[in-house]
A and B are shown apart, each in its own frame.
Chain A
């Protein structure tokens, strides 16, 4: 009990330091979040509850609850935690996509590596194809329009709903909707530009 309390304190400290701009703390926090996300995901798969289609938002919330059982809901901390989680999620996705690409796997959907089983895979497909290009375009977006990128990170990579994003960012729902619309349009345009460049 005491141990977990200490761990919690440690995490809260990391969170505060990261929020204060400490890059090292931010990195360690992201690692902790990443590890916790994996733990949550695995336990969901391994046991009866939840399951493979568990939404990112549920994962992240669960990780938040596990890491900060006291429910430290200070506005800045919450915002920073979700930011870290979003980055962790993005990193996981991108690493995974890169690995697959290096392994020479088809840049198609999940279904493609096991042909013939789509029947029993119920609507579960990770659009790996888009992922790397989205990631690259996302970096550009982040450089030009950081606030939009933050929304994309939370909404797309972290799976939060619009009201949740609004709450995390302390922005209005309308602003988030508009930012998301802007970012999608921007990314879409960027991606189609690139595609036409390539061809």
Chain B
């Protein structure tokens, strides 16, 4: 060691170490020059420390503590009848092994006392049962099991044990081979003997399941002895390997030797070939001295991913002498697909011995092209890495070259094959680009796509282009090796950013050109905050905080506390500076007054978010804490997980966002502290968060290098700005206008990002209630949504480009479940649970035709291609055909009874109508209403139908098996689609080249209709999907997520979106501009300015109506009930009187309501009535003046209704989602009164769910 450092030097050493520890060698020398004066004694020490790189094992944690603590006492504590314990041999994942002497017959045994997490009685029973089988294994290479049973411990517990043959001088196979320096041939021979033993057990129906070198022993005579046969199964008969591992936190089976199918945890998938795989790994290790996969230090989940997806290292790449048969032999044993491995240990041993004798082996080489295809299949749906892309292009090029050579002979065929390869490359490129988009790895994939023939590049490619991350401006902050602090000026026109040399640069926004640079500190700056226009506070690495005027550099105040603030914020109108420090505390400094400093809170503070009134949120020792304006700490805020390093408070003070080491960002309700949204997406620690000034948007920056924006209302991800050069993000800020995001990376890359960019072209969201059904106008500019589950009786029209509601269409008396635009976009048809269909004039926002002939809830509605008539179907199975203009009924068709009719489609020619009825599809002649054809798709109900634009084929989505493309005339399925357990939705693009489809779990993908393969996955909607619609011109695809947000994919570029109006402008102006846009497109030739003005007036009227929505609803409820009551023709007198009683009361009490609900339940016919009553409860509650519309109480009622509806519609999944939400809501203190009222109802619903699930 060099000269000892004094205390001051040590402190500086620690600080500088923190600043430079992560730097690369080039940056390091620059930084050390910056931080250390020449001859500085700490420099040598620093360099020595940084050069000292202990290997991973050094001071590795996780010592076997219990053993250490208890080992000395453990032997005397154990007594086993019939055995004399001699000594402990060791302890392992399964238990402790002793050398013991069995009394009768007298022999030395290895006694394994088994530890297990499962019930010991059950375990003992299994041991007994299986022990007999094991005891029958007699093979020289298998250690014999002598006895098994249970023994007592002094503490009164029982421990299962196994007594087995004591293997003298045992060593693991690999260790033995190393120690004895065995030649390759000797190793292989020894290994073949092991295979013989494994084969013997397999012949007797016993799998080992945990083969690894430490179970493949070699005794003192150099002969193999396999131990622990079948033990893995006894210990884990009913557990998947993953659950077993995660539960104990210990690895019982060793992941390195586990086969891909073992990771899946499906016990049926495990057979003899699983042991063959493990033997393959051991063989690889025995020959090569290392493992085929690098799994060191990986979590089990990562191991599973690697083993199931990565190509194992080829033996031949380790040493050329392994080339040829041995390489192939090992690779065959290591195949991921069991069917491609050796079928038995004997086959493996036989090939080994052939190889040893120099004979040709039996294993077959797989063709490159076949491998490529298998590879592509395995990776479908996954985000592909760059390596895959490279592989794909290389393989593609190779194949292409091959064919080019052969061109003379077979040009036609090779041409076809080349096209096939190109299309395959295109699809893989798409998959990779979409999959990699979120992770910021889509660039190489897009390059690959750009290389594919232009004729292949379609809509989805245009969507990708629209998704490109476009920084508006980028700049490099010089001399700044670490993430620099930055701050927008109050007017938002400039951005201040600190540099290591102590200067603060001002750059214009959004251009990022340098305006000026002011020296504010002698050395690096670690934190920066604006006080006033042109005045900043900077915290230097020297521990001094200075308040400096930019431009002149005049120092206005300084604080010389030994602190290193990492977060600063001004409050009390710029009179007091809060400094969050690295070490000690959150300090408040009255910088520009008397300079007084006081401690607000102890603990390390990394992040502060403040409101104008001085209250705010900060992180205290890794926990979110609320700070009140009077400096009191709000301890009631529940501590979420630890390690939160980033915090932000929404400008309205309602939401607190926190993020940190846990990678996820949580949004909490600031009043209750309850988390309202969990934002998943970042792959590394979240370091910085900021709310947009309007509070709608949250931006997060992470060590993973990406910047993400999120919709605060729904928690939906809005946009991902990809990492550049693996640079992690240091800070993000919103501009005061909310239009721009400034982000700075760890290497000093400064970017201005547009908030309006997104992963889809647009996202339409409202806090609640969510939408459940969607229709896009033919040009994709308008989007109609309605919320079935939330019982909204109106349709909302959105301007997609504005992202705003431009009109609400009122007229239905009950939930609207289905929407479709006419082909010319002038009309919108809606169908509702009120058994009414309405045709709306879109421009006027008024009902043109009201059609009330349905006998059940209108489930589907479709326009004829010429727009003159409409087909609509009711849930009960009636199909009505009627005139769009007059509502005159043309046909009433009843498909049958006892099933639900869910899907409806009209053929492109308009001559056929397809109706899904239960598991059947019925085809009717549109003119005559005759039944043309009928076929059954599968056991589950048909949920969606769509004719292929060319006619003849019908895409069918159904529950379970049967989805696909059907030739409806012959009732034959031409192409299959995957089966899902719930509803799936589908729609063709207008040219019929691609089919958009959703799965129950929320995946949205495109199916290539030419080759009938999956083209690419557009996105995963975490919450599941309720509906989707493709605009008639094919430009946009709208998908409704179950959380209510509508995602719209389309090729519109972000640049076009930047120019649009923001949410802050007046509603009337938005309506006007959107309608003017409509006019400009010439779709409404007869419209004039009066129409526009009327629309503006309507916008104002709507705004007013929304303000008094509660009142309006209350006035409407009795009318609704009466209508519903009138329709429930089968209702019993009891029900009628109960409902009348409710209606007769000015303020119905809970008991009345419940009685009515109960009567409705007994009556058995009153689904809608029950819902009406629940809804009535909401109205009553509102009449009580209890909740505001977005209160949890309202959610409670909606939750009940949703759960009931789920039951009624047999959609248990969605019902359960509501029920889960209900359970959460019931705990909400704000809904206490209502919760108490509703609890019995919820309990009853739960019982119903349980009953239904059992059935």
What residues make up the interface of A, taking CB atoms closer than 8 Å to B? 37-38, 40-56, 58-59, 75, 89, 92-93, 96, 111, 114, 116-124, 126, 130, 134, 144-145, 147-148, 152, 155-156, 159, 162-164, 166-167, 169-175, 178, 181-182, 184-190, 192-193
Contacts and interface: CB of A to CB of B under 8 A. Distances in A.
B582 A118 contact: no
Given A121-B91, A166-B642, A167-B643, A52 B64 contact: yes
Contacts of B38: none
Interface string B140-160: 000000000000011101110
A114 B90 contact: yes
Given A44-B66, A93-B68, A159-B62, A144 B169 contact: no
Interface string B48-79: 11101110001101111111111101100100
5 contacts: A42-B77, A59-B66, A89-B65, A96-B68, A188-B52
B622 A172 contact: yes
Interface residues of B, number: 81
Contact of A117 (B48, B97, B117, B603): B97
A122 B92 contact: yes
Contacts, number: 231
Contact of B65 (A46, A55, A167, A188): A55
B89 A120 contact: yes
The 4 A-B pairs of least Cβ separation, nearest first, read A170-B621, A121-B90, A122-B92, A41-B69
A45 B66 contact: yes
A167 B622 contact: yes
B171 interface: yes
Interface string B485-496: 000000000000
A173 B59 contact: no
Contacts of A134: 59
Contact of B64 (A37, A53, A75, A119): A53
Contacts of A55: 62, 65, 249
Contacts of B61: 56, 155-156, 159
B115 A182 contact: no
B48, B87, B92, B623, most chain A CB atoms within 10 A: B92
A47 B66 CA distance: 12
Contacts of B604: 170-172, 175
A182 B21 contact: yes
Interface in B88-130: 88-97, 110, 112, 115-117, 120, 123
Contact of A41 (B66, B157, B170, B175): B66
B85 to A, nearest CB: 14
B1148 interface: no
Q: Which residue of B48, B58, B157 has the most chain A CB atoms within 10 A of its CB atom?
A: B58
B167 interface: yes
Contacts of A190: 1
Contacts of A45: 66-67, 70, 74, 96
A189 B66 CA distance: 30
Nearest to B93: A122
A167 B621 CA distance: 7
B54 A50 contact: no
A142 to B, nearest CB: 13
A141 to B, nearest CB: 11
B606 A172 contact: yes
B602 interface: yes
Interface in B571-627: 582, 602-604, 606, 619-623
B49 A185 contact: yes
A52 B171 contact: no
A42 B69 contact: yes
B90 A117 contact: yes
A174 B187 CA distance: 48
Contacts of B69: 37-38, 41-42, 59, 92
B237 to A, nearest CB: 15
Nearest to B641: A163
Given A119-B170, A184-B59, A53 B67 contact: yes
Contacts of A116: 168-171
A185 B95 contact: no
Contacts of A187: 54, 59
B645 interface: yes
A54 to B, nearest CB: 4
Given A118-B171, A170-B602, A181-B21, A92 B91 contact: no
Nearest to B660: A173
Interface stretch (B10-18, B453-461, B884-892, B1167-1175): B10-18
Contacts of A118: 90, 171-172, 175, 214
Contacts of A117: 89-90, 97, 170
B64 A46 contact: no
A147 to B, nearest CB: 8
B49 A182 contact: yes
Given A37-B69, A120-B89, A174-B645, A182 B17 contact: yes
B750 interface: no
Contacts of A182: 14, 17, 21, 49
B227 interface: yes
A175 B661 CA distance: 12
Contacts of A92: 68-69
Given A55-B249, A173-B685, A126 B64 contact: yes
B93 A114 contact: no
Residue among B70, B217, B621 with most chain A CB within 10 A: B70
A124 B65 CA distance: 10
Given A170-B603, A175-B18, 20 more contacts: A41-B66, A45-B70, A45-B96, A46-B77, A51-B248, A54-B64, A56-B65, A58-B249, A118-B175, A130-B58, A147-B14, A159-B63, A163-B642, A170-B602, A181-B21, A182-B17, A182-B21, A186-B49, A186-B52, A187-B59
A174 B730 CA distance: 13
B64 to A, nearest CB: 5
Contact of A53 (B87, B91, B602, B606): B91
Contacts of A175: 18, 582, 604
Interface string B439-473: 00000000000000000000000000000000000
Q: Which of A116, A124, A145, A174 has the most CB of B within 10 A?
A: A174
